[in-house]
Amino acid sequence: MTDRSLALSSSDVALRLDLIHRIHGIEHAENYFNNVSNDLKSSSVYGTLLSLYTQEASVERAEAIMQKMREMGFATSSFPYNMLINLYIKTGDYDKIDRMMQEMGEKGIPLDKYTVRNRIAAYVAASDLSGMERVLNRVEEDHNFVVDWDLYSLVASGYVKLGLMEKALVMIEKMERLIPPRKNKLAFEFLLTHYASTGMKNELYRVWNKYKLSNYEMNASHACMITCLAKLDDIEGAEKIFEEWESKCTMYDFRVLNRLLVAYCRKGLIEKAESALNKAVEGRKPYASSWNVLAIGYVEQNQMLKAVEMLKRAISVGRGRWLPTSVTLDPCLDFLEGKGDVGGIEDIIKSLKKPLTRDIYHRWLRTCVAAGDSVSEVLDQMELDGFPVDEETDKILKTGQSL
């Protein structure tokens, strides 16, 4: 549009600013903002830049833009204040949140649900019971403020975090009364999670039986219920929910099975988990995460040969840029390095998708040096991937020369 000399509006500029940040990063977005004519720098453009600084957790630059918005008369709605409150939650600057809310009150800017939710979330994060209750009481007494189910859900999670289960249950009951009868999948899953957190198995089953038919998004709901029952050590119940899902699903979603696999592994039932996965993969292609769950389970049981086997299976079916996390990769590489298994390490490293880290290459190098194997392939590959010989690499090579 710009190249064709089409006139851009302020909303176009705000959109382009956001897109530049997504593709090129904050520095390019700043350069674009600085080169935009002042007559196009509306409140929406400044607000977009403030949002970008919030995403970047850049406090100083966000506060500077907010001050500029004040000076230009743009800080007249709750939006910029909510952006800064979000930022202060990220950075743990809870005192600054109170200042923002005080300023809103002085300017007559009404609290909206996002302001209230963010403030309560900050109190929950800080385990500040009195602050959380103070805000809740304030909005419950405000006839112009509509308290939604999700606000009571947030407060309930705060009570659970503080171990105040009776108070949590009061909030959960209030939450349930506000849930719409249909199209309430998210509320339904939060309700299940809360009853699991409070240990109320009977209520968990009551909610499941009441809402599942009117809110039937099978995969997510069944996965949530499996996790909740596992949290209450009801493995048999989790198995029944999984069997119910498996008998009715039209498209097999391994993420649902993963919930059951995690439950098995946490109970030490790793062989049962492997059996369930082997049965599921017959005629289907699993997610890498399914084999990775088993790899984690075997690592936790110190059955490293099986862990390596599961890790290799996970890597072999990994889609896109999937990579195993350090929870499985590091212990498996440590085990193979300790055994001096050059071939095993090579198999894993060569099958991993780039980019790799210098630490992974050093593990391969150390294993080759200890086994007396040639290190030229490792060094060549490191160089190709932008890891020239550094001090640590040199130290590993000199260790080999002294052997």
Q: Is residue 374 part of a domain?
A: yes
Domain ranges, residue 362? 354-403
Q: Which residues of the chain have a pLDDT value below 70?
A: 183, 213-217, 354, 400-403
Specify the pLDDT at position 183: 66
Q: Is residue 122 part of a domain?
A: no
Cα–Cα distances in Å, from 300 out to 292, 307, 368? 12, 9, 27
Q: Is residue 150 part of a domain?
A: no
Q: Over the stretch 126-157, which tens digit does the pLDDT of each residue have?
A: 899 999 999 999 899 988 888 999 999 999 99
Q: Is residue 12 part of a domain?
A: no
Q: Is residue 364 part of a domain?
A: yes
Q: Is residue 402 part of a domain?
A: yes
Phi/psi-derived region of residue 179, left when phi > 0, alpha when psi is between -120 and 50, beta in every other case: beta
Counted domains in the chain:
1
Q: Is residue 230 part of a domain?
A: no
Q: Distance between CA atoms of 229 and 234, rounded to whole angstroms?
A: 5
Residues 6+ apart with CB under 8 A from 188: 179, 207, 211, 212, 215, 221
- 305: phi then psi, degrees, rounded to nearest 5: -60, -45
Specify the pLDDT at position 323: 85
Which of 370, 313, 315, 380 lies closest to 341 in space, CA to CA?
A: 370
Specify the pLDDT at position 403: 47
Q: How many helices (H) and strands (E) does the chain have?
A: 23, 0
Place of tokens 């060094």: 379
Specify the pLDDT at position 371: 86
Q: Is residue 368 part of a domain?
A: yes
What is the distance in angstroms between the CA of the first residue and the CA of the last residue of the chain? 66
Specify the pLDDT at position 113: 87
Q: Over the stretch 50-70, which tens digit does the pLDDT of each residue have?
A: 999 999 999 999 999 999 999
